[in-house]
Chains A and B, each alone.
Chain A
């Protein structure tokens, strides 16, 4: 099927604008196709063509960052923002490209974090098993991914807008489980002293090594999502998001694609969860409470759901606000500030800070390359999904 046919099938407008511009979505191959079916030469060529000055500058900036700022900024701002950004990236992937707004991504991260504390070492030796760190991390990511798949399986059974409620309820259920169970989750206390291992003679908890560790995984996550959304699976997922019925008529299984998207997002969130528990050095029910479930959504929306760089921008802004709002506004009004910013973003710039950026660029008169990108505006996602599919 050619790209033109594809777009026709999906009823895409041919000139929808994309903020980064200039990209062409590879025509999706059939169901049996693998990523390799896209000619690798074109892939490589495209990759090089798109490395512009700004990419180099950003990469240099994030690499040099810990050498310019004090350790506090390296660890608490940089490290924390990247770890939170990674968790929010999993939501960006689910919501932006799968149309599923899951509030349980922090729960998935929290499950991975709890597994790290339970199987590894903590300040509660009665419960923690003290396994070697690499085994612990493997199990943590496996457990997080499995629970994400289960959450996905439960929530994709209902459609669209229900997802947000169901995932919120599941998240809160896990919060109560962790708070009430003392045998496994150590109840209200949770676990203290959950620190990264010393590997290769490096203490991964100290600011600079931790920063590079989390930066490495953040870059992995970023490029993985960037690759995936243009791979056949990602394109099919976006097709499911935009019109599940047509996709299923074309022989794709919407349910399978959605559950698989949850699983993929689960891997990303689990890695983020392991890094976050190492960052905090502790995990308690509060780390997976309603507040944090919502915070991840705020981070993702703040940055913008249209590009995988969004959650990291959102996380930097969020962490800066969280740390410094108390110095700018009246002492305890952090929640008001973050709530208002979130509200303004939702009301006036549905594409988050990225949307503003695109708007500013346009205003500045720089021509954005028109493209035929199939990235449909997420704003319209809910409508399509909430509409009863069986009635037409």
Chain B
């Protein structure tokens, strides 16, 4: 226990010193960057929570998660464009991605039970196909959503000055979704079964639970979250080819840092990665993009199972 604390101090003291310097140097920039980091973390959490949920129960490293994000976003955009309602776009993104997840689990992965490596490779193949099909259908153009006016302006905040309202909405959304997930996993029957499955899959199926149904539900929720994040994140930024890989990598790093299979870990990992990325952008733009990977390598070297992961 003592040893763990000494490690923490070794990291915390220089960080606090840097933070103090940052605040003294330019408080506005420091807090704006912090808030930017947290809001980016919100987006990363939305994407990565689905990824980690699926992994935790199904042991399926779904490398097509980024593709589901992108396709959910495109479908959401089409619906939003047709109905002129951003909220319907969000719903459509979630539902279509969930449906996609359901189809994948029932149509493909169900036939490879226990073959983790093969499932993972199938997801890689699917992501290549999906990227090209998306490029075929939607072209290389850049798409942007048209959210209601009240959430896209700037909002005055103390110290920081003007801050994008939408990013705060994003943060709030992620917190709500996070608690929703927590409630779902802890309080509902299905959630309890999922948690039991994460802990011991063999016991779960032995106790008479319809494992296939549970897997399908989990996959649908995980994929749905990716599609949801696609629309919500696409509104903050934009949708274009290449975003699939970007969010897949973000999810990978987030769950490696936070610990595989743990939703709380995903939240912690997302905060670390998001904040590091934004501070990197602001204070060390050249190598800032590598900060996240340095964090990942450090975590792997000293705590291979991730910060909140269980030792396997």
Residue of A155, A160, A380, A386 contacting most chain B CB atoms (<10 Å) = A386
The answer on a CB contact under 8 Å between A172 and B128 is no
Partner of B120, one of A157, A164, A177: A164
Residue of B108, B286, B300 contacting most chain A CB atoms (<10 Å) = B300
Q: Mark each residue of chain B from 274 to 312: 1 if its CB lies under 8 Å from any CB of chain A, else 0.
A: 000000000000110110011011001100110000111
Partner of B289, one of A159, A176, A346: A176
Q: Does B131 contact A (CB under 8 A)?
A: yes
The answer on a CB contact under 8 Å between A382 and B116 is yes
Q: Does A240 contact B (CB under 8 A)?
A: no
List which A365-384 residues lie within 8 A (CB) of chain B: 378-383
Q: Which residues of A sit under 8 angstroms from B153, Cβ to Cβ?
A: none
The answer on a CB contact under 8 Å between A382 and B120 is yes
List which A335-392 residues lie within 8 A (CB) of chain B: 335-336, 338-340, 342-343, 346-347, 350, 378-383, 386, 388-391
The answer on a CB contact under 8 Å between A336 and B133 is yes
The answer on a CB contact under 8 Å between A343 and B260 is no
List which A41-91 residues lie within 8 A (CB) of chain B: none
Known A154-B301, A159-B312; contact A166-B256, beta-carbon cutoff 8 A: yes
Q: Which residues of B sit under 8 angstroms from A101, Cβ to Cβ?
A: 117, 120-121
The answer on a CB contact under 8 Å between A158 and B305 is yes
Q: Which residues of A sit under 8 angstroms from B125, Cβ to Cβ?
A: 339-340, 342-343, 346
Q: Which residue of B lies closest to A172 (CB)?
A: B249
A168 to B65, CA, bound (A): 14
The answer on a CB contact under 8 Å between A380 and B297 is no
Q: Which residues of B sit under 8 angstroms from A391, Cβ to Cβ?
A: 200
Q: Which residues of A sit under 8 angstroms from B59, Cβ to Cβ?
A: 161, 382, 386
Q: Which residue of A lies closest to B201 (CB)?
A: A387
**By the criterion of a CB under 8 Å from any partner CB, how many residues of chain A are at the interface?**
48
Residue of B115, B117, B255 contacting most chain A CB atoms (<10 Å) = B117
Q: Does A34 contact B (CB under 8 A)?
A: no
A390 to B286, CA, bound (A): 43
Known A165-B256, A290-B245, A386-B59; contact A346-B121, beta-carbon cutoff 8 A: yes
Distance between A103 CB and nearest chain B CB, rounded to angstroms: 9
Known A154-B301, A380-B115; contact A343-B126, beta-carbon cutoff 8 A: yes
The answer on a CB contact under 8 Å between B256 and A169 is yes
Q: Which residue of B lies closest to A154 (CB)?
A: B300
A380 to B112, CA, bound (A): 10
A382 to B118, CA, bound (A): 8
Partner of B290, one of A164, A176, A340, A379: A176
Q: Does A104 contact B (CB under 8 A)?
A: no
Q: Does B210 contact A (CB under 8 A)?
A: no
The answer on a CB contact under 8 Å between A165 and B252 is yes
Q: Does B124 contact A (CB under 8 A)?
A: yes
A360 to B126, CA, bound (A): 27
List which B127-182 residues lie within 8 A (CB) of chain A: 128-129, 131-133, 135-136
The answer on a CB contact under 8 Å between A347 and B124 is no
Partner of A169, one of B120, B129, B293: B293
Q: Does A173 contact B (CB under 8 A)?
A: yes
Q: Does B35 contact A (CB under 8 A)?
A: no
Partner of A297, one of B61, B124, B294: B124
Q: Which residues of B sit under 8 angstroms from A390, Cβ to Cβ?
A: 311-312
Q: Which residue of A lies closest to B304 (CB)?
A: A157
The answer on a CB contact under 8 Å between A336 and B136 is yes
The answer on a CB contact under 8 Å between B131 and A335 is yes
The answer on a CB contact under 8 Å between A338 and B304 is no
16 other A-B residue contacts (CB within 8 Å) besides A159-B312, A177-B290, A339-B132: A166-B300, A169-B293, A173-B297, A177-B287, A333-B136, A335-B128, A335-B131, A336-B132, A336-B133, A339-B128, A346-B118, A346-B125, A347-B108, A379-B118, A382-B59, A390-B312
Residues of B participating in the A interface, judged by any CB pair closer than 8 Å: 59, 61, 63, 108, 114-118, 120-122, 124-126, 128-129, 131-133, 135-136, 200, 245, 249, 252-253, 255-256, 260, 286-287, 289-290, 293-294, 296-297, 300-301, 304-305, 310-312
Residues of A participating in the B interface, judged by any CB pair closer than 8 Å: 101, 154-155, 157-162, 164-166, 168-170, 172-173, 176-177, 180-181, 290, 294, 297, 301, 332-333, 335-336, 338-340, 342-343, 346-347, 350, 378-383, 386, 388-391
